[in-house]
Amino acid sequence: MTFSEARETVLTNVRAARKIPAVEEVALAASAGRVLAEDVAADRDMPAVARSIRDGYAVRAADVPAELQVIGEVRAGEQFSGEVGRGQAVEIMTGAPIPVGADAVVMVEYTERVNGRVRIGRAAEPNQFINPQGCEAAARETVLRAGTRLDYSGVAALAAFGRHQVKVYARPSVAIIPTGDEIVEVEERPAEFQIRNSNTYSLAAQVTRAGGIPRILPVARDTLEHTREMIGRGLTADLVVLSGGVSAGKYDVVEAVLAGFAAKFFFDRVLIQPGQPLVFGRAGETFFFGLPGNPASTMVTFEIFARAALELLAGQDETALHMPFAHLTCDFKHRAGLTRFLPALLSEGGAAVTPVKWHGSGDVPAVTRANAYLVADPDRPEYSSGELIRVLLK
């Protein structure tokens, strides 16, 4: 499949089969990154009263320009007890309630204090620099919907609405199964023909970031029996992610073992680099991904495919892959036919992108040096310096 076809296949199948996750209640301080299981409404008008959005003077718009009598001051957290009459003004601070009788605020920069009075040399419009009561949200208006992942702004809204507890969906568990006789544990000193188990820990970090709970299983060795044991244990999770064992080699046994669990395969190869040998399917009630074993391939294919499945299983209504455009800082060529996700450095502000030199999908240091992936279209073999190209943030 093409990249687009494969991603749509993941989204369609997971949406069609997913079940509503269990609901739990968590404290506000623990809600960031969780998916809401309830709609959340404002408990009062936001703001509760009309308030100033500038430091200056609260006036009657019809009275200016003029020199006005200053009858007091009001700041955020206070309320002016009097009323602004004709020819009067109240000094006001940002966030303070608008005094009765005033209908505009003049910025302090456009005023001059003269012997207890204020001179205003320009006209003002009614409601100038005023946020009316309820303009941000009306009482009982739904602001956050169930199925929304809470970011920092969502947490701020919960706090503003007085929600110290909130209902969220339980996080899905993800079984992580590395495969291969060449893999040794991180604390071991590998022989020249061995590699440390980095994929387990990069996948665990990606799973956590996407809202799941990683369940790390032992390395599945390159035998049918041991791989079958590990996959059988993994299928008790909400999602299974394997790394390695999905190519066409003599000892790549993952697909054969999955077939023994009556798995349905939706695809087993995608026209991308890195990550062409990529398996997605379902065994019983559990979706699985067989990701390529080279670390860069594992990281990329999780981000562009498995993360979307996990977010949907976590209860999110929508999942999106944001790939904005940036200007290339140099000429770039690649072989047409594959969508490529290659390590790159995106400039501060995201305007420019530079490919990072790398030595293939096993080059972890190159991915570490990058902060994004350059996304080359399969039908565009050449890009000139300055041209726009898509990027995917790490």
Whether 29-46+136-169 shares its CATH topology with 325-393 is answered no
CA distance 221 to 254: 10
The pLDDT assigned to 246 comes to 75
CA distance 381 to 310: 33
Q: H-helix or E-strand containing 80?
A: none
Buried b (16+ CB within 10 A) or exposed e, 61-80: bebbebbbebbeebeeeeeb
Q: Where are the domains of the chain?
A: 3-20+171-313, 29-46+136-169, 51-131, 325-393
CA angle at residue 374 from 369 to 375, to 5 degrees? 150
The pLDDT assigned to 195 comes to 87
The pLDDT assigned to 102 comes to 98
CATH class assigned to 29-46+136-169: alpha beta
Task: Record the tokens describing residue 87, joined without a space.
Answer: 């020819």
**Which CATH code fits 51-131?**
2.170.190.11
pTM of the predicted protein model:
0.88
Q: Is it true that domain 325-393 has CATH number 3.30.750.24?
A: no
CA distance 376 to 389: 7
CA distance 359 to 112: 67
Q: What is the pLDDT along the chain (394 residues), one digit of tens a residue?
A: 999 999 999 999 999 999 999 999 999 999 999 999 999 999 999 999 999 999 999 999 999 999 999 999 999 999 999 999 999 999 999 999 999 999 999 999 999 999 989 999 999 999 999 999 999 999 999 999 999 999 999 999 999 999 999 999 999 999 999 998 899 888 989 899 988 899 999 999 999 999 999 999 999 998 999 999 999 999 999 999 999 877 655 547 888 899 999 999 999 999 999 999 999 999 999 999 999 999 999 999 999 999 999 999 999 999 999 999 999 999 999 999 999 999 999 999 999 999 999 999 989 999 999 999 999 999 999 999 999 999 999 9
The pLDDT assigned to 248 comes to 58
**Which CATH code fits 3-20+171-313?**
3.40.980.10
